[in-house]
């Protein structure tokens, strides 16, 4: 019998695993840290169509995060061999659950129980949403033991989900937050995007590694698979977007954004972009820049804070400080 | 549908979309223009002439009638005409947006503008001049030239019939009794209602586990009190406009200090987590001494201290009393490791930005009112350092003993314009007059302790902004010797002229602040450093900057000292350097004396998001606009320390660090700031490297 091995972080698997782990864990957050109740004032000023879209957008995102946390990440983690990578994937799965819950935190704060139930009903009935979830789910469940090809398919599905399919939903909260509406909820979405961008990059790197293990024939098949899946999901995403955004006249803008992110997903997989470059709405684009933005301390939490690295003071620190005080005193 | 994205927001956001590999700065002016044409003009109520406008605004209860009755119409018209002929134009979308979004008076339903920038300046000028038409014209010139900017509450509210208060900043002592806590909560509610930021000193509250009515272990400590305040502030939200804001300060020798800090930790229990309340730690020099010597540190249970000495722990000079307290068996104590505590502060700051730190011994060492009382805590933005005295709140059948809490009204000089116009004496004098007027006309009777302090002490806080803007404009690095040389002279001059004006007001009115005779001004000690040191420029480049300015000499200081001793001062406190959020955007200035955080800022400010290139930013001075996160914080502390010499209150100082800084790095900054004589540190901001940056250096 093969002995059980413990994960050994003293022996790095690659030069990036520990870095990804650190990045991921240092940006840990909880939905309850963000004062969502501040958005109630903004919420009452939204029109009914806007509220409906907002709720549905979040409903759709909840479903995708549920799929990713309950099925996608655990299955991928099960089939990826290296233990440190598994650890990262499991941590990411846990974050997906926090994402899924945080949409509910927004719901609970701004909407009535009846409205919330309606949205979850809508999630079950919206055919595009069901279709994309079913498509991804089937690929995940098809991953087989010791089969790089099906694992590659699963990793591609995961990257598409993280870097592509979420963004028809992310668009609206970013669009509103950029105009000073639903800012605290926007903050949650930005924290989610900050996580998803790490997930997308990491899983994309794993996919590229697995791809290298494929035979030439398998590689050709895999390329065709990626292209077919992209086309299929893209077509579905267009329909989804129309359903969601026609009533508030943003469909056109969102479709551009979808293509923009589809390209990003392909790049995470190490592939060439497929769609022509277009001008994406700058407000939304600026919303996903993940640098720390300047913010009013009394209003929102800000993406800039994170777990700190602890290091003790040294005795010679004081020699340095005292010397500097002497050196900088103007006589 | 209202979902259409406004053109000006789109244009403003396009600044960041690179074209031919450079930012599109010019989009900002386009955005400002579009904002005027497509939005402001279309949403401004039209009047045929000034008289029609003023009559309407008075009839409809927008403006205060007594104010306009104190001038003839011709006098009023002269002020408006003067302002409109100056042809002021907002140089950036941010400044225009700030004004119209936050300051311009709107119709009651909030849909249309009733004022332009010039109108607001006219009303503020008329208000401050109190019927003196010549003075109103002077204020108008001061404001339109943007040499001086009153703080938000004054600028927003002056002259309105239905208005909030003119001062924004309050500090309250909280005594160790249920009556006092109830009184403080009521005061916090009342002050939040009128738009104030409130700071509370919780250091007198008995610690968790102390006695109540002689029974051990009954007291719950400061945490539940913090929760009460947090809820009070979120309830008082000014008609839904903005939640009240508050900060609580705790002395580092209070035994609840660990739990106090834990309320901001990311993984703390929901029941104890404090989300919206800000925290400040009051740290005497003794703490830093124990840290340096790597010693254990005793925390003192405040109720046992009070019972033993009849005096509150935080009313004492803890540094001087430390050994006595340690050796007194009647004082209950808790032992901790000093270095662990400073690391914990650093860790909490990295996770949350809090706490602020007050170097209380530095504040008291150079305190001009040291014979009158101690400075014990600071305010929401950590620029206030004044004496305070706890009131005694009794039961209904016994009168309260009301003592002095703190209020402060603020305003800021725009360094670029002050230097350009070369009339700094006049500018500082007029600015002091504007602040004095606000203090004289403020009476916060909702909170008697605040009203009493204002009545007796007339404290104000004149600050400054646009320092980094000024340096960049003159191609001086923020971290250079020239920068330090400049602020030494500049703030010496501001100090000189503010003292001079305060003395002249006291002379004119025959009134000084209560207790002047006991102050360091009266005995002359305050002036020692100016008689011993020469603060005029030492470097050629800086000497050139001051060409055309008269710089007060030692002889001037000797004369001023004599005049102050003879006539007294009207103000107990004069200077304080605030962080200047909104008003520096309004002035297209860099904030306070702080370095910029981004050359092109992406600003989230509660209810709006805007892209803001720094003032005068161009390819020419790009290099001189070094971002704060790239600076050495020791250099920033050195600069603030030079300014602090000339500022009788404190300076809001923010530390900017990257996410690879450790708790040790931060702790070194705290210690250094203490050694350099800073009175406070505001929060710490961490810049997170983006994932692309991390990946690109690794994969």
**Residue B269: predicted pLDDT:** 61
Pairing of strands B333-337, B296-300: antiparallel
The answer to whether residue B698 scores a pLDDT higher than 50 is: no
Question: Chains A and B: how many Cβ contacts under 8 Å?
Answer: 204
Is A204 inside a domain boundary? yes
Which among B241, B641, B688 is the top mutation candidate for probing chain A, defined by the most A β-carbons within 10 Å of its own β-carbon?
Answer: B688
CA distance B238 to B156: 14
CB contact under 8 A, B9 and A198: no
The alpha carbon of residue B5 is apart from the nearest alpha carbon of chain A, in Å, by 8
Q: How confident is the model at residue A307 (pLDDT cuts 50, 70, 90)?
A: low
Which among A289, A297, A302 is the top mutation candidate for probing chain B, defined by the most B β-carbons within 10 Å of its own β-carbon?
Answer: A297
The answer to whether residue A266 scores a pLDDT higher than 50 is: yes
H/E stretch holding B148 reads strand B148-150
CB contact under 8 A, A308 and B347: yes
CB contact under 8 A, A41 and B278: no
CA distance B457 to B167: 15
The answer to whether residue B73 scores a pLDDT higher than 60 is: yes
**Tell me: the pLDDT tens digits for B600-631?**
887 765 455 678 889 888 777 888 899 999 99
**Tell me: the pLDDT tens digits for B211-255?**
888 888 888 899 999 999 998 988 876 555 556 689 999 999 999
**Residue A3: predicted pLDDT:** 86
The answer to whether residue B323 scores a pLDDT higher than 80 is: yes
**Residue B268: predicted pLDDT:** 58
**Residue B22: predicted pLDDT:** 77
Among A19-28, A296-305, B244-253, top mean pLDDT goes to B244-253
Is A287 inside a domain boundary? yes
The predicted model gives A116-144 an average pLDDT of 94
Q: At what angle do helices B178-193 and B448-457 cross, to 10 degrees?
A: 70
DSSP state of A309: B
**Tell me: the pLDDT tens digits for B178-209?**
999 999 999 999 888 887 889 999 999 999 99
Strand partners, A15: none
**Tell me: the pLDDT tens digits for B14-68?**
888 877 777 888 888 888 889 988 999 999 999 999 999 999 999 999 999 999 9
The alpha carbon of residue B566 is apart from the nearest alpha carbon of chain A, in Å, by 32
Return residues 364-383 of B near A (CB < 8 Å).
none
Is A74 inside a domain boundary? yes
H/E stretch holding B687 reads strand B684-687
The predicted model gives B361-384 an average pLDDT of 95
CA distance A58 to A119: 9
CB contact under 8 A, B16 and A328: no
The answer to whether residue B177 scores a pLDDT higher than 80 is: yes
**Residue A291: predicted pLDDT:** 46
- Please give the residue that has the higher pLDDT: either A99 or A297: A99
CB B117 within 8 A of CB B98: no
CA distance B378 to B170: 10
Nearest residue, CB atoms, B5 vs list A279, A283, A303: A283
- Please give the residue that has the higher pLDDT: either A305 or B132: B132
Average pLDDT, rounded, for chain B? 91
**Tell me: the pLDDT tens digits for B402-443?**
999 999 889 999 999 999 999 999 999 999 999 999 999 988
CA distance A176 to B547: 50
The alpha carbon of residue B319 is apart from the nearest alpha carbon of chain A, in Å, by 20
CB contact under 8 A, A15 and B602: no
Is A89 inside a domain boundary? yes
Is A201 inside a domain boundary? yes
Residue B52: alpha-carbon gap to chain centroid: 39
Q: How confident is the model at residue B692 (pLDDT cuts 50, 70, 90)?
A: very low
CB B331 within 8 A of CB B300: yes
Which residue segment(s) compose the domain that A62 sits in?
17-291+301-328
CB contact under 8 A, A293 and B602: yes
The predicted model gives A95-107 an average pLDDT of 89
Nearest residue, CB atoms, A295 vs list B349, B604, B671: B604
CB contact under 8 A, A292 and B607: no
Task: Enter the ipTM.
Answer: 0.88
CB B386 within 8 A of CB B375: yes
**Residue A331: predicted pLDDT:** 58
Is A11 inside a domain boundary? no
**Residue B619: predicted pLDDT:** 76
CB contact under 8 A, B3 and A282: no
In the residue annotation, B381 being an active-site residue is answered as yes
> Does residue B594 belong to the interface with chain A, where contact is any CB pair within 8 Å?
no
* Overall number of domains in chain A: 1
The answer to whether residue B568 scores a pLDDT higher than 50 is: yes
Return residues 432-461 of B near A (CB < 8 Å).
none
Residues of A taking part in catalysis = 103
Q: How confident is the model at residue A300 (pLDDT cuts 50, 70, 90)?
A: very low
The answer to whether residue B689 scores a pLDDT higher than 70 is: no
Query: What are the chain A neighbours of B675 within 8 Å (beta carbons)?
Result: 321-322, 325
Query: What are the chain B neighbours of A298 within 8 Å (beta carbons)?
Result: 243, 245, 276, 278, 606
CB contact under 8 A, B1 and A249: yes
CA distance B377 to B556: 34
CA distance A308 to B661: 8
Closest CA to B389 of B375, B399, B378: B375
Paired tokens of B33: 């223009």
B542: CB partners within 8 A, 6+ apart? B482, B485, B486, B489
CA distance A205 to A208: 5
**Residue A288: predicted pLDDT:** 64
Is A169 inside a domain boundary? yes
> Does residue B343 belong to the interface with chain A, where contact is any CB pair within 8 Å?
yes
CA distance A253 to A284: 10
The predicted model gives A279-296 an average pLDDT of 64
The answer to whether residue A277 scores a pLDDT higher than 90 is: no
Query: What are the chain A neighbours of B337 within 8 Å (beta carbons)?
Result: none
For residue A63, give the CATH number of its domain: 1.10.620.20
Is A189 inside a domain boundary? yes
């Amino acid at each position: 019998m093969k002995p059980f091995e413990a994960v050994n972080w003293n022996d790095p698997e690659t030069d990036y695993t520990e870095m990804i782990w650190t990045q991921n864990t240092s940006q840990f957050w909880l939905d309850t840290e963000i004062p969502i109740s501040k958005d109630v004032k903004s919420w009452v000023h939204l029109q009914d169509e806007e509220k409906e879209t907002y709720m549905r957008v979040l409903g759709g995102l909840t479903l995708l995060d549920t799929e990713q946390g309950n099925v996608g990440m655990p299955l991928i983690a099960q089939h990826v061999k290296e233990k440190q990578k598994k650890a990262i994937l499991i941590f990411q799965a846990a974050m997906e659950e926090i994402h899924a819950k945080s949409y509910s935190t927004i719901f609970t704060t701004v909407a009535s129980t009846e409205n919330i139930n309606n949205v979850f009903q809508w999630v079950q009935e919206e055919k595009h949403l069901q279709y994309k979830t079913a498509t991804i789910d089937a690929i995940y469940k098809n991953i087989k033991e010791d089969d790089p090809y099906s694992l590659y398919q699963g990793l591609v599905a995961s990257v598409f989900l993280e870097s592509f399919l979420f963004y028809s939903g992310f668009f609206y909260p970013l669009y509103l937050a950029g105009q000073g509406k639903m800012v605290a909820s926007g903050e949650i979405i930005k924290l989610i995007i900050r996580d998803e961008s790490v997930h997308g990059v990491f899983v994309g790197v794993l996919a590229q590694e697995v791809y290298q293990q494929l035979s030439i024939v398998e590689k050709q098949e895999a390329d065709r698979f990626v292209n077919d899946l992209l086309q299929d999901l893209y077509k579905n995403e267009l329909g989804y977007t129309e359903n969601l955004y026609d009533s508030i006249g943003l469909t056109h803008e969102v479709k551009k954004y979808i293509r923009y992110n589809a390209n990003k997903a392909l790049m995470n997989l190490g592939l060439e972009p497929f769609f022509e470059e277009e001008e994406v709405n700058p407000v939304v684009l600026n919303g996903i820049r993940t640098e720390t933005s300047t913010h009013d301390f009394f209003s929102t939490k800000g993406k800039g804070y994170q777990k700190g690295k602890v290091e003790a003071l040294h005795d010679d620190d004081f020699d340095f400080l005292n010397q500097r005080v002497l050196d900088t005193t103007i006589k | 549908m209202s979902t259409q994205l406004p053109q000006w927001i789109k244009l403003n956001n396009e600044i960041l979309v690179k074209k031919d590999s450079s930012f599109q700065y010019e989009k900002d002016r386009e955005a400002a223009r579009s904002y005027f044409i497509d939005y402001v003009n279309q949403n401004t109520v039209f009047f045929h002439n000034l008289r029609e406008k003023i009559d309407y605004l008075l009839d409809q209860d927008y403006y205060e009638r007594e104010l306009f009755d104190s001038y003839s119409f011709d006098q009023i018209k002269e002020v408006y005409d003067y302002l409109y002929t100056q042809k002021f134009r907002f140089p950036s979308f941010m400044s225009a947006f700030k004004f119209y979004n936050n300051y311009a008076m709107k119709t009651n339903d909030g849909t249309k503008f009733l004022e332009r920038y010039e109108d607001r300046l006219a009303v503020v000028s008329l208000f401050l001049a109190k019927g003196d038409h010549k003075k109103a014209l002077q204020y108008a010139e001061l404001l339109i030239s943007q040499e001086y900017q009153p703080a938000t509450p004054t600028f927003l509210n002056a002259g309105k019939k239905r208005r909030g208060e003119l001062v924004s900043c309050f500090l309250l002592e909280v005594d160790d009794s249920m009556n006092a806590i109830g009184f403080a909560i009521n005061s916090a509610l009342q002050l939040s209602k009128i738009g104030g930021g409130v700071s509370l000193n919780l250091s007198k509250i008995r610690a968790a586990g102390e006695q109540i009515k002689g029974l051990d272990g009954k007291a719950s400590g400061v945490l539940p009190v913090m929760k009460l305040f947090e809820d009070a502030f979120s309830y008082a939200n000014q008609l839904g406009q903005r939640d009240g804001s508050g900060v609580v300060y705790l002395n580092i020798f209070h035994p609840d200090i660990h739990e106090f800090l834990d309320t901001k930790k990311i993984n703390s229990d929901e029941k104890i987590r404090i989300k919206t309340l800000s925290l400040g730690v009051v740290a005497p020099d003794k703490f830093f001494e124990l840290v340096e010597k790597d010693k254990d540190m005793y925390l003192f249970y405040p109720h046992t201290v009070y019972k033993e000495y009849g005096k509150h722990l935080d009313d004492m000079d803890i540094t001087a009393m430390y050994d006595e307290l340690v050796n007194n068996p009647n004082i209950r104590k808790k032992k901790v490791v000093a270095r662990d505590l400073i690391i914990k502060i650093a860790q909490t700051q990295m996770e949350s930005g809090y706490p602020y730190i007050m170097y209380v011994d530095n504040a008291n060492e150079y305190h001009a009112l040291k014979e009158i009382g101690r400075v014990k805590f600071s305010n929401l933005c950590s620029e206030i350092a004044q004496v305070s005295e706890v009131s005694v709140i009794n039961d209904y059948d016994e009168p309260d003993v009301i003592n002095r809490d703190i209020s402060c009204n603020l305003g800021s000089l725009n360094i670029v314009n002050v230097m350009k116009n070369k009339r700094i004496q006049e500018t500082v004098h007029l600015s002091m007059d504007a602040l004095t007027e606000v203090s004289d006309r403020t009476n916060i009777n909702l909170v008697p302790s605040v009203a009493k302090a204002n009545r007796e002490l007339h404290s104000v806080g004149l600050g400054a902004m646009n320092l980094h803007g000024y340096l960049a404009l003159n191609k001086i690095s923020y971290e250079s010797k020239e920068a330090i040389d400049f602020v030494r002279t500049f703030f010496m001059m501001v100090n000189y002229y503010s003292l001079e004006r305060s003395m002249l007001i006291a002379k004119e009115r025959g009134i000084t602040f209560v207790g002047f005779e006991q102050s360091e001004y009266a005995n002359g000690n305050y002036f020692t450093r100016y008689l011993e040191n020469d603060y005029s420029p030492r470097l050629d480049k800086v000497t050139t900057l001051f060409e055309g300015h008269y710089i007060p000499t030692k002889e001037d200081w000797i004369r001023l000292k004599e005049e102050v001793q003879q006539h007294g001062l009207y103000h107990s406190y004069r200077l304080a350097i605030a962080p200047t959020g909104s008003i520096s955007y309004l002035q297209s200035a860099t904030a306070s004396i702080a370095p910029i955080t981004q050359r092109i800022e992406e600003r989230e400010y509660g209810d709006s998001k805007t892209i803001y290139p720094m003032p005068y930013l161009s390819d020419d001075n790009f290099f001189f606009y070094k971002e704060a996160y790239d600076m050495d914080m020791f250099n920033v502390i050195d600069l603030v320390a030079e300014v602090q010499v000339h500022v009788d209150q404190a300076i809001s100082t923010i530390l900017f660090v990257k996410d690879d800084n450790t708790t040790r790095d931060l702790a070194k900054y705290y210690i250094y700031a203490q050694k350099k004589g800073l009175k406070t540190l505001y929060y710490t901001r961490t810049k997170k490297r983006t994932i692309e940056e991390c990946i690109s250096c690794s994969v």
